[in-house]
């Protein structure tokens, strides 16, 4: 089975910040999750390089627009490399391949009779690249709205209102979490959609409208089509219908209303699902490039806590869909408690026991398991099912809690069985070997459950446990009667603030 995962195509108007890293690392975590559960996955990202916002940002810096976007796009690509995110494609909306996909998309919709020329008068936020009907300031950027009046092409969005409601109501997982789905449904049911202005004459920095190059396309039309242009033609049928867009709640309407309506018009199947994250905030303020007080450099942060640390905080520390304040001290506490203590100490204690008492290897032909041993393995097996359900419900934080709870269960089992005391009596050697086999099996399962969140740590654990081959989803909860261990460095050193 295939999965096609996309992050937003981030604006190349500023440098990447923690908010961008958040959505991208969540998508990357899902990529690992799907790979584990036997899917062929493609993950794409990119930079949104057209529109007035970009043009103004380049002007403000006194740089040529092309050079400006080149530098910003490079910064995004460099960050994804630093975070170890291996993208299947990175779209730049100024690429000729992308432009070549946007033009027929527009034409397709025009051929349906869904585009007409009109006059737009209204309020606009350049930061959002979005018109507003009322208000003095942008609710997201808290900047005054500008009054725009221009000739514009319009998309007949209003034609699609009932089909959108129908689609969302008949596809429970189309928008997750559910609150976001309800928000969109309520908007669609309680207000009449106005046609969407989809071209601009106020900027030249965009893709010219076919047969009328006085206009350039509205940057959002151009940007949304990047999800299509990122896929090679031969992959399109196999991957597009299983598309999941990872986005923040700030761009929900673009993805839950405009995009599906455009796709319906173009007669392209709708994506499978939108997974919508909340906001990372600093002292309650959304992390945003327009607010320098909120900027945390992701590269400096991963030098302190590692990519696994950052991913773990994003996935476990932020209930998906909700807003969370980034507080460094709390991040440190979470990572020390869960990764350094709960998982790290467990591994080093286990490896020490096997090394010291069994010279690093145990091999038993017919081990006899007691009830508590079966119970521990059942905890892992049952947890794995809940873990999978949580991922599917767009609750990766619940899946991360199951991983941490599983590690805690193994710790409790060890604490209860006390192999370090039992071994003092030679008669108990057989029972101690079984206990360690059970823990080893449980740890192999734990590796599977942790691998989407902390892949580097899991690699170190697997090296300590001499586990080879691919992580195997179906092996969770299984018992093995052979172990080898190897003493290695700590899997996650304690952070000191």
- Closest CB 11 distance from ligand ME8, rounded Å: 4
Give the x-and-dash track for 19-58 against ligand ME8 (CB under 6 A).
Answer: xx-xx------------------------x----------
Active site residue 141: yes
286 is catalytic: yes
Does position 394 bind ligand ME8 by CB under 6 A?
Answer: no
Among 43, 221, 263, 280, binds ligand ME8 (CB under 6 A): 280
Q: Does 286 participate in binding ligand ME8 (rule CB under 6 A)?
A: yes
Minimum CB separation from ligand ME8 for residue 349, in Å?
37
Return the residue of 85, 196, 209, 251 that touches ligand ME8, per CB under 6 A: 251
Does 223 interact with ligand ME8 (rule: CB under 6 A)?
Answer: yes
| The one catalytic residue among 29, 53, 98, 138 | 138
Residue 285 vs 487, nearer CB to ligand ME8: 285
Task: Give me the least distance between CB of 409 and ligand ME8, in Å please.
Answer: 32
Active-site annotation holds for 472: no
* Residue from 50, 53, 98, 286 carrying the catalytic annotation: 286
| Residue 392 Cβ vs ligand ME8, minimum distance, rounded to whole Å | 21
| Residue of 17, 50, 215, 245 with catalytic role | 17
Which residues partner with 274 through β-bridges? 175, 245
Q: Does 324 participate in binding ligand ME8 (rule CB under 6 A)? A: no
Q: Is 466 a catalytic residue?
A: no
Which entry of 289, 316, 440, 460 is annotated as an active-site residue? 289
Kindly state the smallest distance separating residue 250's Cβ from ligand ME8, in Å: 5
The answer to whether 72 contacts ligand ME8 (rule: CB under 6 A) is: no
Taking the complex as a whole, the smallest distance from the CB of residue 129 to ligand ME8 amounts, in Å, to 8
Q: How far is the CB of 283 from ligand ME8 (least distance, A)?
A: 13
Size of the site for ligand ME8 (CB under 6 A): 22
Phi, psi of 298 (to 5 degrees): -60, -35
Is 248 among the residues that bind ligand ME8 (CB under 6 A)?
A: yes
Which H, E and C letters describe the chain, residue by residue? CEEEEEEEEEECCCCCCHHHHHHHHHHHHHHHHHHHCCCEEEEEEEEECCCHHHHHHHHHHCCCHHHHHHHHHHHHHHHHHHCCCCCCEEEECCCHHHHHHHHHHHHHHHHCCCEEEEEEEEEEECCCCEEECCCCECCCCCCECEEEEEEEEEECHHHHHHHHHHHHHHCCCCEECHHHHHHHHHHHHHCCCCCEECEECCCCCCCEECCEEEEEECHHHHHHCHHHHCCCHHHHHHHHHHEEEEEEHHHHHHHHHHHHHHHHHHCCCCCCEEEEECCEEECCEECCCCCHHHCCCHHHHHHHHHHHHHHHHHHHHCCCCCCEECCHHHHHHHHHHHHHHHHHHHHHHHHHHHHHHHCCEEECCCCCCCHHHHHHHHHHHHHHHHHHHHHHCCCHHHHHHHHHHHHHHHHHHHHHHCHHHHCCCHHHHHHHHHHHHHHHHHHHHHHHHHCCCCHHHHHHHHHHCCCCCCCCHHHCCCCCCEEECCCCCCCCCCCCC
Asked if 250 interacts with ligand ME8 (CB under 6 A), we say yes
- Site mask for ligand ME8 (CB under 6 A), range 173-212, x = bound: ----------------------------------------
- Least distance in angstroms from the C-beta of 83 to ligand ME8: 14
CA distance 20 to 138: 21
Q: Find the binder of ligand ME8 among 3, 4, 5, 8 (CB under 6 A).
A: 8
Contact between 287 and ligand ME8 per CB under 6 A: yes
Rule CB under 6 A: is residue 271 a binding residue for ligand ME8?
Answer: no
| Secondary structure of residue 3 in the 3-state scheme | strand
Q: Which residues are identified as catalytic?
A: 17, 20, 125, 128, 138, 141, 286, 289
Query: What does the binding site for ligand ME8 look like in residue numbers (CB under 6 A)?
Result: 8-11, 19-20, 22-23, 48, 223-224, 226, 247-248, 250-251, 277, 279-280, 286-288
């Amino acid at each position: 089975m295939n999965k096609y995962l996309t992050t937003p195509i981030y604006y190349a108007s500023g440098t990447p910040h923690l908010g961008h890293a958040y959505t991208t690392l969540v998508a990357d975590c899902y990529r690992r999750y799907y790979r584990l559960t036997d899917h062929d996955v493609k993950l794409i990202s990119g930079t949104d390089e057209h529109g007035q916002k970009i043009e103004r940002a380049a002007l403000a810096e006194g740089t040529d627009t092309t050079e400006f976007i080149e530098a910003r796009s490079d910064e995004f690509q460099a960050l994804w490399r630093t975070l170890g995110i291996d993208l299947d494609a990175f779209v730049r909306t100024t690429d000729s391949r992308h432009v070549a996909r946007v033009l027929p998309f527009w034409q397709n919709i025009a051929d349906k009779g869904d585009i007409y020329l009109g006059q737009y008068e209204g309020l606009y936020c350049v930061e959002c690249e979005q018109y507003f009907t009322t208000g003095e300031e942008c609710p997201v950027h808290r900047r005054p709205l500008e009054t725009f009046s221009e000739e514009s092409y319009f998309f007949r969005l209003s034609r699609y209102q009932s089909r959108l409601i129908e689609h969302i109501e008949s596809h429970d997982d189309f928008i997750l979490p559910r609150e976001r789905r309800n928000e969109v449904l309520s908007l669609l049911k309680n207000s009449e959609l106005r046609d969407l202005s989809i071209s601009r004459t106020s900027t030249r920095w965009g893709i010219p409208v076919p047969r009328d190059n006085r206009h350039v396309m509205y940057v959002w039309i151009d940007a949304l089509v990047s999800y299509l242009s990122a896929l090679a033609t031969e992959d399109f049928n196999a991957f597009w219908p299983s598309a999941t867009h990872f986005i923040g709640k700030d761009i929900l309407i673009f993805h839950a209303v405009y995009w599906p309506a455009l796709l319906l018009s173009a007669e392209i199947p709708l994506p499978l699902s939108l997974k919508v994250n909340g906001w990372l905030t600093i002292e309650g303020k959304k992390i945003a490039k327009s607010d320098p007080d909120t900027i945390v450099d992701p590269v400096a942060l991963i030098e302190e806590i590692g990519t696994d640390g950052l991913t773990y905080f994003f996935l476990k520390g932020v209930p998906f869909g909700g807003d969370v304040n980034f507080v460094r001290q709390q991040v440190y506490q979470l990572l020390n408690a869960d990764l350094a203590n709960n998982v790290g100490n467990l591994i080093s204690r286990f490896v020490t026991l096997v090394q010291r008492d069994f010279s690093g290897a145990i091999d038993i032909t017919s081990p006899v398991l007691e009830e508590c041993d079966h119970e521990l393995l059942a905890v892992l097996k049952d947890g794995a099912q809940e873990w999978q359900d949580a991922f599917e419900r767009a609750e990766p934080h619940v899946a991360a809690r199951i991983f941490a709870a599983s590690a805690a269960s193994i710790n409790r089992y060890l604490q209860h069985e006390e192999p370090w005391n039992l071994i003092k009596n030679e008669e108990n050697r057989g029972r101690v070997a079984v206990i360690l086999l059970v823990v080893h099996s449980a740890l192999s399962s734990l590796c599977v459950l942790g691998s989407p969140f902390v892949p580097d740590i899991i690699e170190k654990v697997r090296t300590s446990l001499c586990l080879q081959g691919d992580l195997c989803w179906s092996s969770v909860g299984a018992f093995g009667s052979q172990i080898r261990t190897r003493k290695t460095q700590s899997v996650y050193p304690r952070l000191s603030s």
